[in-house]
Structure formats: structure tokens, C-alpha cells
A and B are shown apart, each in its own frame.
Chain A
Amino acid sequence: MDVVFWVCAAGAVASGIAVFRVDSMARATFALLASFVFASVTVLLADLTYLGILVILMMVMEMVIMVVFMVMYMMNPAGLMPMTMVHNKKGALVISVATFGVLAAGSVLVDWPGTDAARPADPTMALGQALMGPRMLTMVVLGLALFATIVATVVLATHRGRYDRYGDRLDRRPPDDPVRGGLGR
């Protein structure tokens, strides 16, 4: 158990560093994915099977979509020309090392309380009961936030609305699309 944890921890940190060290955008993205997978194995080790697997599932999807955007927008997607795109490298390094020092000191020095409380037989069930019961408000807020995000991102990202598709009186059939869709409307 311990061995698995330390291997995964080292893997997560190493691939996390690799994200900002490699030149290729594809490699950076998949290094980040590797970091997430390693980290979620440690979450699995803490008995949180559902959340650990959920993170893997989401991160694979997210990173694949991310890599598409990376390759679309970045200067040097394959890293064929060595280049850096950083500003204030030293300052960032100092700040982050200092942060790590503080946090690590805190983790080591503080005497974290243990607990004798009984572990739930099924943590997934406990989470579900909480989200659908006493923590319902959290769930509602999360749902609303996600919905707002969907609307806002679509509005931000697209440049074609329904008036472009269906005409000023919304009566153009079929709509004016770059390619015909599967329903032939």
C-alpha cells in the first residue's frame, strides 16, 4: 500500500513538473493527464473509489479536449522549435518554492488530529446521501454554476447565432449551416 502510494506520488509530481518542461503541447497535456491519473490513484487508496475513478474519467475527456485547443491555438504544437513562453520565470520559481516550503512545513510540523470515528461502509453512498440530503444546497449551486457556464461559454465562443442560421425571421429551412447535419432539417 505504502509502496503504491509513494510510486504514485512521485509519478504525479514528476509528470506535473514535466508539464512545464516539455516543449510539445501534446506532451504537456498528456503529462498533466498522467499527473492526474497518478494523483487519483492515491485518492483511490484513501477508499474513495467513486471520486478517484470519476477524476480519471473526467480528466481523460478534459485533457483530450484541451489538447485539441492547445494544438489549435498554440504557436508550436509539436515542440519542433525549442522555445519558451514564460515571463518572470525567476519570481514564479521563488514564490512557488516558498509556498511549497510553507505548506510542507505545515504538513510535517502540525500535529494533525486523528480520528476513531467509524468509516462508512460505502463512502459513495454516504456522498450521495449527503448531496441529496443535508448538502442539497451545494448540489443545486453546482448545477446552476454548470448550467451558467454552458450558456456563457457558448455565447462567448461562437460567432453564429440562430438569426445567422435561420434568417432574420427565423423561417429559413433548412438552416444555413456550413455542412448538412444528420437530420436534414
Chain B
Amino acid sequence: MTEYLLLASALFSIGLYGALSQQSIVMIMMGLELMINAVIVGGAAFWYYTAPDRPDGQVVIVVAITAMAVEMAAGFAVTTAIFRARDVDMTDLAADLRD
């Protein structure tokens, strides 16, 4: 249990670092994916060690996988739309779109 949660914490923190520090939308998405990966590992651990008789842990993983797919599809669509409009894929520059 502890080792799984340690792994999940490490993955989550790396993903958080990426999501906070990167400028490119695609790189930020990579950070988010790593964080969701941590959720998957954590969900598996909770299911296996605390409640294997109930399906909730597995359902959490299914939801996380779906969230990952949605996040990626939406991210690429937004990137494409921004890129088409302004020829940039950087969040700092996308902020200029407001003015």
C-alpha cells in the first residue's frame, strides 16, 4: 500500500511540476497526464488493499482513463484553434488573445 502511494505521489508531483512550469500547451498536457497516471496507480492501490470486494476503485480508474482521453482531445483541439488563429502554441502568448 505505502509503496504504491509513494509511487503515485512521485508521479503526481512530477506532473504538477510540468503543468506549472511549462509554457507550451502540449507540454502542460503531458504534466496533466502524469497527474492522472498517479490517480490510476492510487486507485489501483486502494482497490487492491482496502476494498477489493467493491468495484469503486476500478470505476475510479475507468473515469481517470476517460478523463485522460477527454483532456487530450480537448487540449489538441484548443491548441489547433489557437494555432490557426494566432500561430502560437504557448500559454503566455495565448493570454494576449484577451486584449
Chain B: interface size category: 35 or more
Per-residue interface assignment for chain A, residues 29 to 43, with 1 indicating a CB less than 8 Å from any chain B CB and 0 otherwise: 100100110011011
Per-residue interface assignment for chain A, residues 93 to 134, with 1 indicating a CB less than 8 Å from any chain B CB and 0 otherwise: 101110110011011100011110111100100110111000
CB-based contact A9/B3 at 8 Å: yes
CB-based contact A126/B7 at 8 Å: no
CB-based contact A5/B30 at 8 Å: no
- What is B's interface to A at a CB cutoff of 8 Å? 1-18, 20-24, 26-27, 29-31, 33-34, 37, 40-41, 44-45, 47-55, 58-59, 61-63, 65-66, 68-70, 72-74, 76-81, 83-84, 89-90, 92
- What is A's interface to B at a CB cutoff of 8 Å? 5-6, 9, 12-13, 16-17, 19-20, 25, 28-29, 32, 35-36, 39-40, 42-43, 46-48, 51-52, 54-55, 58, 62, 65-66, 69-70, 73-74, 85-89, 91-93, 95-97, 99-100, 103-104, 106-108, 112-115, 117-120, 123, 126-127, 129-131, 135, 138, 142, 145-146, 149-150, 152-154, 156-157, 159
